[in-house]
Amino acid sequence: MNSEDIVMTGFMGRILVADLSKEETHSLKTDASISAKFLGGSGYAARFLYDYLNPHADSLSPDNMLLFMTGPLTGTLAPCTGRHVVCGKSPITNLWGESHVGGHFGAFLKFSGFDGILIKGRAKTPMTLHIDSGEVSMLSAKDLWGEMTGPTQKLLKDELGRVQVCCIGPAGENLVKFASIVTDERVSARCGLGAVMGSKKLKAIAVGGTAKVPIQTPDEFRECANSSRKILGEAMSMLSDQGTVMYVDIGMMFNDMPIKYFQEIEFDDADLINAKSMEDILIGRSACYSCPIGCGRRVSVPEYELDDIGGPEFQTVAAFGSNLLISDLKKIALMNNLCNQYGMDTISCGSTIAFATQLCDIGKADYGLNWGDSNQVIETIHAIAKREGIGDLFAEGSLSVAKKNSAEDIVLHVRGLEVPNHDPRAFSGMATVYTVASRGASHMEGDMYSIDMGADVRKLGILSGDRLENELKGEIAARAQDYRAFFDSVIMCHFAIVPPETIIELLNLALGYSYQLEDVLMIGARAVTMKRLFNLKCGLKTKDEKLPKPLLIPHAESVTDDFVPDVDAQLEEYYNYRKWDRKTGCPSDIALEKLGLSGL
């Protein structure tokens, strides 16, 4: 496909560049040659930032950049595409960072007239970036600095009218390494990009406008989108009814839920933190833009003066619940709300507190933490966000806590990013995903746990298998990684079980392209490879591609039959499939040529 022949439907055609140091803005054309190969989202961002971002820049310096990016279907009727991604260099790993989020900000960014926003430099004083129908203003945020994310968004909406807001809370301002970026109560959580935003003194971005996303064949697109929305809504009714906490019961059954920092296999109070128990505080549900599922929970907990707030998702229930031996769901809802208001990743926050509790338990530290003490956890969340007392150390992440206490051999991380709440001893393919994921330990770069429970994509060679075997797991994980990278370029929510043929049809009707089914994994592989190339420039070493030792110790008397994944065997398979060099981690010339990336 010749990029000169591409009509830029599906895109607004511009990326806003905001240089905070110079207090200047301008726009770049959305590059048709990049979008043809990478679509949008994190795929486009990886190709773009590979050229623009200095890989040696300190992640919290003015030289780091943040790219807020949408996809070609964002702001349309296509199901579950009302999302955006934030990309940049992570302060946790000093490698590639990306964090996806739903809500309505992504759609409103398109409506404002832009496909993305590139943030450069550092403001002299706190600032809000306001974009309305192509017009850009830099507003003082001095009065907002120090505010929680909820009041920040309300104040900006009251002042600016019909806008959607992304903002940081005090944790981002205080450069907590796992600070998040919040829109409504949806969160760009992982990789600490909220700290990057805080380092730039950018409190918030508000976007609004009424521009329409151009569609190549609007009538056929509308028909296809509405049909797929209806089918998806019916197929995902269980997720709609129960939310992501439906996985608590499943995770417990498969030993795929962390208990006492992944040390135990039994948590007798799991039924107090599952979807059934959520009904006691549930008042409704919420959906992202153009989503027929509505997996978001709305809860109220009058005891803690919490009224109609976002309920905790599975990862949060696991991080602050079973992981810390806490079974009080109302307290977990409070912890979740505190993290959302301060702007912190619940996975990294919960994991860091759990690690510190383990250090106390085994006598390697004295932080005064005990398993199951929810009040201590709540106090610690406040301390981390404010960087007070032990919170100042914990705000650096669990690896820093480990180094402080000479305990690097027992901390659960990959390249500095805390392991999320799925166990590779329960689903062996997660060993590959965690060790090679571009952002460190991430369950979002390949959901081998769902694939080996039957959610495979046979037409793309993504086949379910025995979850406690190593054979073919490296290759299947690579295909799954490509598939999810394709989703993250569209951008489409991973919960959207939409047949790949339907996604291709939607893209072709929107963009006027002629993509085929085989392009799905090709587009994804390009994105995966670009992130690898970016990381290699940042200094990635294959010696760091390893699982933490505690996850290679079999669980005693578990349903996993003492299984542990063979990481080396899986990685050998993975590298052979990709045609990457196992020692250097570099893609071969053959691999780059096949993907149309020669010369990079």
Please write the tens of the pLDDT for every residue from 112-122: 999 999 999 99
pLDDT at 4 over 50: no
- The model's pLDDT over 204-252, given as tens digits with 9 standing for 90+, comes to 999 999 999 999 999 999 999 999 999 999 999 999 999 999 999 999 9
Q: Of 191, 234, 262, 247, which Cα lies nearest the Cα of 45?
A: 191
- Structure confidence at residue 62 (pLDDT): 98
Q: What is the pLDDT of residues 86-124, one digit of tens each?
A: 999 999 999 999 999 999 999 999 999 999 999 999 999
Sequence-separated (6 or more) residues with CB below 8 Å from residue 414: 434, 435, 437, 440, 441, 544, 545, 546, 547, 548
Strands 116-120 and 14-19: parallel
Q: What are the tens digits of pLDDT across the range 403-460?
A: 999 999 999 999 999 999 999 999 999 999 999 999 999 999 999 999 999 999 999 9
Q: How far apart are CA 65 and CA 120, in angstroms?
A: 5
CA 348 to chain CA centroid, nearest Å: 12
Cα gap 296→493, rounded to integer Å: 13
Residue 2: per-residue pLDDT:
40
Asked whether 112 and 211 are in contact (CB, 8 A), the reply is yes
- Could you give the strand order of the β-sheet that contains 24-29, starting from the edge strand earlier in sequence? 24-29, 14-19, 116-120, 66-69, 84-89, 96-101
Domains contained in the chain, CATH given: 3-208 (3.60.9.10), 242-411 (1.10.569.10), 430-495+518-594 (1.10.599.10)
C-alpha 296/C-alpha 286 separation (Å) is 5
